[in-house]
Amino acid sequence: TPAASTRCGRSPTRAASMRSDIHDIEVQYQHRTERAVCVRPYEGAADVWLPLSDVEMDPAEARRGDTVTLTAPERLLLDKGLI
């Protein structure tokens, strides 16, 4: 069976193959270094550090405690306990 086939022997649909694993979540901004950003999923939660090479933050500049939108791969967000 070809690698792209499903268990039924059919190829995945175009929509399934185009599905993105990128998510937007709202978090509390804490701190930023040259290579990472520190956020919290909610007030009072533990700090979570994420590599800037794997995430985007909107707005790009924020102050401690501001709510920002973080865009990152699902696997990273799962690994860090953010989703």
48-51 and 36-40 strand pairing = antiparallel
pLDDT along the chain (83 residues), means of 10: 45 52 97 97 96 97 97 97 96
| pLDDT of res. 7 | 45
Q: pTM for this structure?
A: 0.74
What pLDDT score does 19 carry? Answer: 60
3-class DSSP string for the chain: CCCCCCCCCCCCCHHHHHCCCEEEEEEEEEEECCCEEEEECCCCCCCEEEEHHHCEEECCCCCCCCEEEEEEEHHHHHHCCCC
